[in-house]
Structure 1
Amino acid sequence: MKPISISAFASISPLGATSTEVWESYLDNDHKISKKEFEHFSEWIAKIAEKDQAIIQEIQQSDNKYKNLDKTVLFAIYASRKASQQAGWKTGDDFGINFGSSRGATALFEKYHQEFLETGISSTLSSPTTTLGNISSWIAHDLQSNGPEISHSITCSTALHSLLNGVAWIQSGLADKFLVGGSEAPLTEFTIAQMKALKVYSRETEGFPCKAFDLEKTKNTMVLGEGAAAICLENEISERTIAKIEGIGYATEVLKHNTSVTADAECFQKSMRMACKNINLEEIDAIVMHAPGTIKGDSSEINAIKKVFANKIPFLTTNKWKIGHTFGASGLLNLELALLMLQHQKAIEVPFAAKQNTPTELKKIIVNAVGFGGNAVSVLLSV
C-alpha cells in the first residue's frame, strides 16, 4: 500500500487534554485510576480530570443543540476540533469522518431507559441522541465539513477499524483526507456490573489496580476508563507529516465463546503478519499491545507475538495499567502512545513488567487492538 500521512492527532483521556500533558503523564510511573462509589458497589475507574471535564461542559453549553448530547459525542467533538485545527483543516474543507464507539451513548441511553421504566414514556430526544451514527454526524456539524460520515461499533477494536476505513477511502482515490477516531464514556454502574459479571474486573486492593502486561498475575485486573482520540489522515506526505501508516492488518477468529480468543491469539498473528507483509519483521522496534489486564487476554497476545517474531521480540508496552480499558477508543489511544514514542524517541516502559532491552532508536511500531469476537487490527507506523 502507498504510505498514508498522519498530519495531526489529539485526545482527551485520564492522561490529559493536550499532547504535552499526555506525554508528561507517560513519563511518570503513576496510574490514573481511582475508586468510585456507586449505588451498589465501589470499583476502580479511570476518569478524565475535573479540569478537563470542565472543558467538555463548556462545549456542551456552547450551543443549545449540544446540551442533550452524550459524553461520547462531546469527547469526540473536542478531539476532532483539536486534531483538525492542528492539521490546518478549515470549515468547509472536503474530508471524510469515521468516528466509532463500542457502546455509544452509554450514560444517556441508561438515563432515558430508566425514565421509561419509571414513567412509561420515552423522551423526545432519546432516539436521535443515542444512535451510534450521531457521533460522526455531530462532528461533521461542528466542523462544517464536506465529505462522507461513518459511525460504527466493532467492540474494542472500533477506533482502529475507523483508521482502516479512512485508509481504504484514501487508497481508493475517493477521498484525499479523513478524520478518524474512537470515543467511549462507559463509566456507569450497569456497564461496570457487566464486566464484573464476566469476572474480568480488577479486585486489586493496593499498588496498581490494573496489571496489564504482568504475566505473573493470578487473577483478572481489567479496569474501565473513558476518553476519545482522533487523527488526521492525508493522501500526500508533507512537512506536516508526523508519522506514516506503512501497513495495516486485520483478522477475525472463529468463535468458541462470545468473549473468547485462542491461547495463541490467531487473529493477532494474522493481523500483525498482514501489517508487516512488505517489510522484514526484524525492522519492528516496538509493539503497543492491546493487553486488557486479563490473564487470557494478555497471555494470548504475548503468545501471538512470540509466534510471529520468534527470537527477535520487539520492545513491548501498553497503557491500560495507567488509564484502564477505554473500549472503542482504546486502539487510537494506543496509537497516540506510539506516535508520541516516535516523536520523542523514547520507549515507555510498564513499571511492574519484566525488564526489557530498551531500543535506542524507534523507527517502526506496531499498534494492536482486538475486541469481543476476536476482531483484531494491527497498524504499522513508521517515521
Structure 2
Amino acid sequence: MKEKISITAITSMSPLGSTLEETWQSYQNDDHYFSLSKINDDKTWMAPLSKSAKLLVEELRESDSKYRKLDDSVLFAMVASRMAVKQSGWENTAEFGINMGSSRGATKLFEQYHSEYLATGISSTLSSPTTTLGNISSWVSHDLGAAGPEISHSITCSTGLHSVLNGVAWLNSGMATKFLVGASEAPLTNFTIAQMKALKIYAKVTESNSGSVVDTSTVIERSRSYPCQALNLKKEYNSMILGEAASVACLEWGVIKNALAIIDGVGYATEILKHNTSISANAICFQKSMKMALGDLDVTEVDAIVMHAPGTIKGDSSEYNAIQEVFGDYMPQLTTNKWKIGHTFATSGMLNLELAVLMLQHNQMISVPFLESKSNSRIIKKVLVNAVGFGGNAVSILVSKSE
C-alpha cells in the first residue's frame, strides 16, 4: 500500500445489534442468535436482525412513502450509512465516494415481483428500478447527499471486503480523501435458502441443536447445542446458516487522529475454477491474499485472525490449512462470528472487520466454543481479516490499533 488508511467509523445492523456498544455486548456471551422459522414447509435455522435494528429499519421505511417500495437490503444500507457518517463526523460534507456491494441484492423484491409475473403475466412498474444491483449505492448516495462517485458491485461473499479494497484504491490514487464502503444483504427468503439447501451445505435442525445452549465443561458437549459449527474442525456435517445484515465503514486517507483502526495492508487473489463452488484443499487463494496483505511483516506480529469460516467442512478446513501454510509454526489466535450470526453473504467480511476493530479497541479476543483457545497475554495490536466467495475470490485486510 502507498499509504495507510484510517477507519474513522464502522457500523452495522445485524443479529447482534445496531450499535457498536450493543454488538460488543452480544459478543461477550456464548449465545447464538439463530431462530427457527418455517421456510418451504421445513423448519429452518436463520439469523434475522436484532429487535433494535428492525425498529430502526421500520422507522426509516415509514418516514417516506417512496421508501416503502425499497428492498430490505437498501433500507439496511441506508440506516447503517447514516450511523457511520454521524459517527465519523462527515455530516457536514458531501465530498466522499460510496462503494456499497451485495451478493444477492434485492432478493425479497425480486422473488415477489417474479411470483406476480408468473401469476399474471404482467410485470410491476417498479420491478426493474427497485431490483437493480446499483440500487443500494444510489439510494445511500441520494440519502446522504454525497457528491463523490457511487459504485455498486457483487463478488459473491467477499463483496464487502472488496468494497474496502476499492475504497483504499481510490484514496491512494489521490482521487478522493474520504470513502464510504460496505455491504448489505437481506437473504432470508424462500428461494435463497432453497438454493443453499440444494448445495447440501445448510445446517439441519436436529434434536441436539433445537434447544438452548448447553453449559457444560467440555468443548464436545457444549458444541452439540450450536446449530452452526463454524470453526469446529472436527465436525462431520456442513452447518452453514444464513443471516441478514448491513455494515458500513468510513475510510480516510492517511493516519487520522482518533481513528478506530488503521488499515496496514490489503491482499486479494482468485483461484482457477474447477467447480462452481470450488476452493482448493489448502485454499491457495487465501494463501496469496494473506501474504499480500502481510507484505514484509513478520508473521509473529499478527495477534489474531478473524476467519471467513462459513461452517462447511471444506470451507473451514481449507482456510485453516492455508493459515498453517502461511504462518508455519506460529499460529495466531483464531476466531469467527458465524457460529453466532451465520453467513451474511456480502456483509460477512465487513462484520469480520467490525469484530477485528472491536477486539483492537477493547484488547480482548472473542473465542469460539469449539476451540480450546490458548492464553494470550500480549496486547492485540494487529488483526488479519479474511473473506472469500464462491469461485475462490479471497480478500485479506490487515488492521492495527490506532495509536
TM bucket, shorter chain? over 0.9
| Alpha-carbon distance in structure 2 between the residues aligned to 1:200 and 1:29 | 24
1:347–1:359 CA contact under 8 A, matched in 2: no
1:182-201 correspondence to structure 2 within 5 Å: 182-201=183-202
How many angstroms does 1:62 deviate by? 1.0
| Alpha-carbon distance in structure 2 between the residues aligned to 1:143 and 1:91 | 10
| Alpha-carbon distance in structure 1 between the residues aligned to 2:373 and 2:364 | 15
Which of 318-327 and 187-196 deviates more?
187-196
1:352-367 correspondence to structure 2 within 5 Å: 352-367=370-385
1:305 partnered with 2:306:
no
Structure 1 stretches of 5 or more lacking a match? none
**SS of equivalent residue, structure 1 residue 370:** strand
Equivalent position of 1:148 in the other structure: 149
1:157–1:370 CA contact under 8 A, matched in 2: yes
1:162–1:182 CA contact under 8 A, matched in 2: yes
Equivalent position of 2:212 in the other structure: none
1:248 to 266, 271, 275: 266
| Alpha-carbon distance in structure 2 between the residues aligned to 1:133 and 1:92 | 23
Tell me which amino acid in the other structure corresponds to 1:234: E
Equivalent position of 2:222 in the other structure: none
1:52-79 deviation per Cα after TM superposition (whole angstroms, max 9, x unaligned): 2121011011122211010100000011
How many angstroms does 1:166 deviate by? 0.2
How many angstroms does 1:92 deviate by? 4.7
Equivalent position of 1:340 in the other structure: 358
| Alpha-carbon distance in structure 2 between the residues aligned to 1:61 and 1:99 | 23
**SS of equivalent residue, structure 2 residue 138:** helix
How many angstroms does 1:39 deviate by? 3.6
1:1-383 correspondence to structure 2 within 5 Å: 1=1, 2-205=3-206, 206=209, 207-383=225-401
| Alpha-carbon distance in structure 1 between the residues aligned to 2:375 and 2:51 | 37
| Alpha-carbon distance in structure 2 between the residues aligned to 1:123 and 1:222 | 34
> Cα RMSD (Å) of the superposition?
1.0
| Alpha-carbon distance in structure 2 between the residues aligned to 1:83 and 1:191 | 29
2:44–2:205 CA contact under 8 A, matched in 1: no
1:115-164 deviation per Cα after TM superposition (whole angstroms, max 9, x unaligned): 10111111111101100001001000000011000001000000000000
| Alpha-carbon distance in structure 2 between the residues aligned to 1:98 and 1:222 | 27
1:46–1:323 CA contact under 8 A, matched in 2: yes
| Alpha-carbon distance in structure 1 between the residues aligned to 2:180 and 2:365 | 27
1:19-68 deviation per Cα after TM superposition (whole angstroms, max 9, x unaligned): 01000000000000111012421100001123421210110111222110
How many angstroms does 1:354 deviate by? 2.9
Tell me which amino acid in the other structure corresponds to 1:340: L
Tell me which amino acid in the other structure corresponds to 2:104: R
How many angstroms does 1:276 deviate by? 0.3
Structure 2 stretches of 5 or more lacking a match? 210-224
Which of 57-66 and 27-36 deviates more?
57-66
1:91–1:145 CA contact under 8 A, matched in 2: no
For normalisation by structure 1, the TM-score amounts to 0.98
| Alpha-carbon distance in structure 1 between the residues aligned to 2:382 and 2:55 | 37
| Alpha-carbon distance in structure 1 between the residues aligned to 2:117 and 2:172 | 46
| Alpha-carbon distance in structure 2 between the residues aligned to 1:286 and 1:204 | 32
1:159–1:328 CA contact under 8 A, matched in 2: yes
Which of 52-61 and 166-175 deviates more?
52-61
1:31–1:208 CA contact under 8 A, matched in 2: yes
Which of 244-253 and 354-363 deviates more?
354-363
| Alpha-carbon distance in structure 2 between the residues aligned to 1:51 and 1:296 | 35
How many angstroms does 1:311 deviate by? 0.3
Q: Which aligned segments of 4 or more residues in structure 1 are displaced greater than 6 angstroms?
A: none
Tell me which amino acid in the other structure corresponds to 1:228: A
How many angstroms does 1:265 deviate by? 0.1
| Alpha-carbon distance in structure 1 between the residues aligned to 2:347 and 2:322 | 23
**SS of equivalent residue, structure 2 residue 389:** coil
**SS of equivalent residue, structure 2 residue 201:** coil
Tell me which amino acid in the other structure corresponds to 1:71: D
| Alpha-carbon distance in structure 1 between the residues aligned to 2:95 and 2:388 | 31
| Alpha-carbon distance in structure 2 between the residues aligned to 1:181 and 1:51 | 20
2:12–2:18 CA contact under 8 A, matched in 1: yes
1:301-350 deviation per Cα after TM superposition (whole angstroms, max 9, x unaligned): 00000000000010000000000000000000000000000000000000
1:315–1:359 CA contact under 8 A, matched in 2: no
| Alpha-carbon distance in structure 1 between the residues aligned to 2:73 and 2:109 | 10
**SS of equivalent residue, structure 1 residue 11:** strand
How many angstroms does 1:93 deviate by? 1.8
Q: How many residues align?
A: 383
| Alpha-carbon distance in structure 1 between the residues aligned to 2:258 and 2:139 | 26
Tell me which amino acid in the other structure corresponds to 1:143: L
| Alpha-carbon distance in structure 2 between the residues aligned to 1:92 and 1:367 | 30
**SS of equivalent residue, structure 2 residue 153:** coil
1:212–1:292 CA contact under 8 A, matched in 2: yes
**SS of equivalent residue, structure 1 residue 43:** strand
1:339-368 deviation per Cα after TM superposition (whole angstroms, max 9, x unaligned): 000000000000222332335310000000
